[in-house]
Amino acid sequence: MKVKYLLGALLMAILGGAITLVAYTKIADKPAVVAVKDSSQAEVKDARALLTSFEMQQGQVDFTYAAEQTVHAVVHVRTKTMVEQPYNPIMEFFYGDRYNNRPREVAGYGSGVIISSDGYIITNNHVIEDAGNIEVKLNDNRIFKAELVGRDPSTDIALLKIKADNLTFLKWGDSDKLRVGEWVLAVGNPFNLTSTVTAGIVSAKGRSLGLLNSDYKIESFIQTDAALNMGNSGGALVDTKGLLVGITSAIYSPSGAYAGNSFAIPVSIVRKVVEDIRQFGEVQRAIIGVSIDEVTPEIAEKQNLTEVKGALITKINEGGSADDAKLKVDDIITKVDGVSVNSPTELQEQLGKYRPGDKASITYIRNGKESTVPVTMKNVSGNTSVVTPGMGIGEVYGSRLQAVGPSDKGNFRIDYGVKIVEVGEGWFKDQGLRKGTIILTVNGKKVNSAEEVRQATNNNEKSIKSIEGITIDGRIFNYKFGY
C-alpha cells in the first residue's frame, strides 16, 4: 500500500509540474503588456502607455509614404539677378576708362512646392527677390521658365507659375492641429541637389525671429529639428500623411549650416497669402489698428491673470478697427474667434487668416475681467475695400518704399535701409530721387520700413530736414533741407 501511495503521489507531482510548465509556456508566449494588464491599477496605466508608444512607433517611424507623396512635388528654383556694381572712385582713378562698372549677373537657388496640377508653385520671397530670370527644375529633370505671379515680403511668400499640366502636387494640411513633439518631414534641394528628405519633430510653434522688415510682417514660425541647409528655403514641411503643413524658410545657426533649429512658415498663413495673390494679385491683409507687446509676469499680476499669456495692446490707432470696437491701451487680447492666442506672434498668425471686411470676435481682459467684442477688419488704408496691387503698402509721400533685400545688403555692406521701388507724384519725385535709391536715415534716424520713414518725419513731408542714402550707381549722398 505504501509503495502504491508513493507511486501515486509521484505521478501526481509529475503531472502537476507538466501542467504548470504548459501554463507558463502559454503565458510566456503572450505580449508582456497583456500580462501586465491583468495586474494592479497602476500597472494597467503603464501597460496602456507602453501599448500607445508601440502603436505610435508602428505608424510614425516609417516615413516612406509621406516621402513618396512629397519628393515629386518639390522643385529646384534657379534665379539670375543683374546687380549694380557699387561705384569705386579708387578703381576709376587707377584704371580710368578701363574701369568696368557695369552690372554683373548673380545666380541663386532654392526650393519650391507644386500646389496644383497646372503648375502653381510656392517658394520664399527671399529666394526670388530682385530676380530677373527664374527657372524651375522638376524632380524628373524637366526644366521650365517660371513666371512670378506675386509675392509678399510681409510673410516671405512668393507664387510662381510654369506652363505644365498633370503635375504631382501637395494637398493642404492643417498647421493649427500640429502638436509639439509630432513627427514632420522637410523636403527641399539643399546644396543644389535634387529633392532631399529629412525628418524631425515639431520643437515649438509661434516663433518670432525678427527676420522680416516689412511694415506688416507676420512671423509665427513652426520650429523643428529637421535638418535644413542652404537651398532648402521654399521647400515643403509635411506631416506623416504627406500633407503640406509649412514652407521651410530659415535656420538658426552661428555657422550658417544646420545646427538643430529649423523654421517653417505655417500653412495657415501660406494658404491665405497664395489664395489672395491668385484671386486679387495682392494680399488682402486685415489689420485691427493696434501695436502689441508680450505679457510679462508683472503685467499678468497687475491684471490678475491666472497665466502669463496673450498680447498686450500698447497703442490704439485712431479710426482703426480696435478703436471702433472700444478696445483700449493695456487690454490683453487672449482669443480670436475662440482660438487662444498666447503671444503677439500667435495673434498676428490668427489675424493673418482674415481679409478686410471680415468680422471676428476678439476676447480680451481689462482689469481682470474678460470680455468679448465683435471687430470688423480693415485694410492698410483704413477701410474695408479690396486692396489692389501697390495700394497703400509701403507708400510714403507718393512713392512706394520697401525694406532692402539680402542682395542690396550684401552689395552695399549695409544691414538696414529702405529702397524706393516706385516713384510717384510727390515729395521724393520733386527732390529728384529715382527708383532704386536706398534711404538709410531720415532726420538722422535709421529707417528699415516705410512706417519708420513716416515716424521719422511725424507723417509730414515738411518735417524732412535731412536724408542720407545710396544712389542707384552706388554713391553715398547726404541731402539737407531748410538750413
126 is annotated as an active-site residue? yes
- The secondary structure of 85-132 as a DSSP string is PPP-HHHHHHHGGG-----EEEEEEEEEEE-STT-EEEEEHHHHTT-S
Q: Of 111, 126, 175, 225, which is the active-site residue?
A: 126
- CATH class of the domain comprising 290-376: mainly beta
- Residue 427: the pLDDT is 86
Gap between the Cα atoms of 287 and 362, Å rounded: 13
Confidence of residue 21 (pLDDT cuts 50, 70, 90): very low
Contact criterion met (CB below 8 Å) for 199 and 226:
yes
The DSSP code for 281 is S
428: exposed, middle or buried (Cβ count in 10 Å: 0-12, 13-18, 19+): buried
Rounded average pLDDT over 270-278: 94
pLDDT digits (tens, 9 = 90+) for 447-460: 988 878 888 887 78
Give the fold, CATH level 3, of 62-283: Thrombin, subunit H (2.40.10)
Highest mean pLDDT among 23-27, 84-88, 288-292: 288-292
- Residue 261: the pLDDT is 82
Gap between the Cα atoms of 285 and 358, Å rounded: 11
- Residue 480: the pLDDT is 87
Report the Cα 346 to chain-centroid distance in Å.
Answer: 12
**Cβ neighbours around 27 below 10 Å, total:** 11
> Of the ranges 119-128, 209-218, 249-258, 276-285, which one carries the lowest mean pLDDT score?
209-218
Contacts of 98 (CB under 8 A, 6+ apart): none
Rounded average pLDDT over 110-120: 96
- Backbone phi and psi for residue 318, each to the nearest 5 degrees, phi listed first: -60, 130
Contact criterion met (CB below 8 Å) for 49 and 42:
no
Q: Alpha-carbon dihedral of residues 341, 342, 345, 347, nearest 10 degrees?
A: 20
- Residue 18: the pLDDT is 47
pLDDT digits (tens, 9 = 90+) for 404-432: 876 677 778 888 899 988 787 788 888 88
Rounded average pLDDT over 361-376: 93
Domain ranges of the chain: 2-61, 62-283, 290-376, 395-480
Q: Of 154, 233, 262, 321, which is the active-site residue?
A: 233
Gap between the Cα atoms of 198 and 137, Å rounded: 20
- Residue 120: the pLDDT is 97
Is 290-376 the same fold as 62-283?
no
- Residue 253: the pLDDT is 62
Nearest by Cα to 303 from 316, 313, 290, 292: 313
Contact criterion met (CB below 8 Å) for 287 and 150:
no
The DSSP H or E segment spanning 430 is: helix 427-430
Q: How many residues does the chain have?
A: 483
Q: Return the C-alpha cell found at 283.
A: 494680399
The model's pTM:
0.68
- Residue 100: the pLDDT is 64
Gap between the Cα atoms of 89 and 475, Å rounded: 10
pLDDT at 136 over 90: yes
pLDDT at 171 over 60: yes
156 is annotated as an active-site residue? yes
Contact criterion met (CB below 8 Å) for 112 and 159:
no
Confidence of residue 152 (pLDDT cuts 50, 70, 90): confident
- Residue 99: the pLDDT is 60
Nearest by Cα to 370 from 320, 310, 314: 310
Nearest by Cα to 414 from 105, 86, 79, 132: 86
Q: Alpha-carbon dihedral of residues 87, 93, 97, 100, nearest 10 degrees?
A: -30
Give the fold, CATH level 3, of 395-480: Pdz3 Domain (2.30.42)
pLDDT at 45 over 60: no
Nearest by Cα to 352 from 428, 445, 285: 285
Gap between the Cα atoms of 153 and 249, Å rounded: 12
Q: What is the mean pLDDT of the chain?
A: 80
- Residue 98: the pLDDT is 60
Contact criterion met (CB below 8 Å) for 100 and 158:
no
- Backbone phi and psi for residue 430, each to the nearest 5 degrees, phi listed first: -60, -30
Contact criterion met (CB below 8 Å) for 224 and 205:
no
Rounded average pLDDT over 55-78: 78
477: exposed, middle or buried (Cβ count in 10 Å: 0-12, 13-18, 19+): middle
Contacts of 367 (CB under 8 A, 6+ apart): 303, 304
Q: Of 111, 152, 156, 331, which is the active-site residue?
A: 156
76 is annotated as an active-site residue? no
Gap between the Cα atoms of 115 and 159, Å rounded: 10
Percentage of the chain lying above the pLDDT 90 cut: 39
pLDDT digits (tens, 9 = 90+) for 187-231: 998 877 778 899 999 998 887 766 555 556 677 789 999 888 788
